[in-house]
Amino acid sequence: MGPGKIRHGQVFKIRDCALLAIATGNRAQNLRELRDHLQSIHPDSIYHHFWGGLMRPKFVDPEYSNDFAAWSRHGLHDSILAERLGVLDPTEFDDLESLRQELVEVVEARLDESEHVSWSKADQQFNFIRSQIVVFDTHKVIPAPEALAEYLPHLSVGSVFYHFVDARRRTPGGGDDFREWLAEFGEQYVRLRENLAALDYYFVTVAELKAELCELFRDYFAFQAPA
């Protein structure tokens, strides 16, 4: 949850975060083992293998946005499964359990189609990692949305991830912290909130997302400025 509330009245408290990668000890060398582990692995592992890559400066494999798809292609050499897993968008699922179920169904469907189970080499096993988020208080307080627009270029990627991506696990409506805060101002920033809601925040890195946020806020307040 992080240290304290994000909002206090109508000011916004900037947090930063880091994702700690923790080994689970679970490994898969073939598709059946992957399916079996997916059914019981900690949900934070599902989170890591979909969202953890966003904190890297760039995707290790730009063709695949989640680790399951990348391993299917490079570990199992199964391009069909890799394509099916690669198009999964976690933002379309209500929670990690729904995403887990879809993963299992996609893998099981592929198992039903295949006469032989593909195996990876011993040094190319899939290692299940889980993420633990560590949150830091930056002691930076934003008094108004206009000030946030000015401060956005100075946000770390950890702050962008925490407030715009990870927030969706914390807020009651599944939204980002910026929209939740802007809602406190009533109808004043409805269009800005709508623009934020329309941002594609999964198939980009957090650095790219930050650039889009900066442009969105800059354009909005430039348009609002009196002539």
CB 221 within 8 A of CB 149: yes
Q: Report, as ranges of residue numbers, the positions in the chain whose pLDDT lies below 50.
A: 1-3, 8, 59, 226-227
Structure tokens at 106: 């996609």
Q: Which of 50, 27, 13, 3 is nearest to 155 (CA)?
A: 13
Domain range annotation of the chain: 19-130, 142-224
* pLDDT of res. 2: 44
* pLDDT of res. 225: 57
* pLDDT of res. 205: 86
**If residue 65 lies in a helix (H) or strand (E), which one and from where to where?**
none
Structure tokens at 217: 């806020």
* pLDDT of res. 1: 40
**Mean pLDDT (the chain, rounded):** 90
* pLDDT of res. 60: 52
Residue with tokens 């966003």: 54
